[in-house]
């Protein structure tokens, strides 16, 4: 007897292109996620076995207003509290083109703002973790061996940052993760 189990991975992602403010981002993210959860229930998705990989709730890149990482973290948690079913076990946020440092500062703020919310709030940052490694490899002369030791050290450092942010224990530099108005 073969028992097959699938994990549904859902990635609602709101584009950062545009000049919308954080309040609009909260409204749009809440609407998109509410419709998503409704559709999941309508289709019989077992919520306890699904994985959500959304964007963090951020203002558009062209937004003229400045927001702190803490404001972005609170907006993200507020959005989850409004619409995320308690049956969903957690969220693995996408980096969405943010640098590792900005994504970590914002994830850290999210975890500090979550209070007693029931979800595990973590990361799924292929781009934020891989781009620095690719940059390191680009510095290598063509045809030479990959700098595996340096790559290993860099990835270990990056994962330590991401892990600390997922626990709300990352200590970002002042202003790190803030959205600076365009």
Active site residues: 11, 53
Give the residue ranges of DSSP H helices in 12-144: 22-42, 69-83, 100-113, 126-138
Residues contacting 77, CB < 8 A, separation 6+ = 110, 113, 114, 115, 117
Closest CA to 9 of 81, 91, 79, 101: 91
């Amino acid at each position: 007897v073969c028992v097959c189990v699938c994990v549904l991975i859902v990635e609602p992602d709101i584009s950062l292109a545009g000049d919308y403010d954080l309040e609009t981002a909260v409204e749009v993210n809440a609407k998109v996620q509410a419709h998503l959860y409704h559709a999941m229930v309508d289709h019989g998705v077992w919520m306890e076995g699904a994985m959500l990989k959304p964007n963090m709730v951020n203002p558009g890149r062209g937004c003229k207003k400045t927001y702190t990482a803490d404001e972005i973290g609170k907006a993200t948690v507020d959005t989850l509290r409004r619409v995320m079913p308690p049956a969903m076990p957690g969220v693995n946020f996408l980096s969405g083109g943010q640098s590792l440092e900005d994504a970590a500062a914002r994830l850290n703020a999210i975890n500090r703002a979550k209070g007693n919310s029931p979800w595990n709030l973590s990361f799924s940052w292929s781009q934020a973790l891989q781009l620095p490694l690719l940059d390191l490899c680009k510095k290598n002369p063509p045809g030479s061996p990959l700098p595996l030791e340096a790559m290993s050290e860099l990835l270990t450092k990056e994962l330590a940052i991401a892990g600390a942010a997922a626990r709300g224990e990352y200590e970002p530099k002042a202003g790190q993760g803030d959205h600076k108005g365009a």
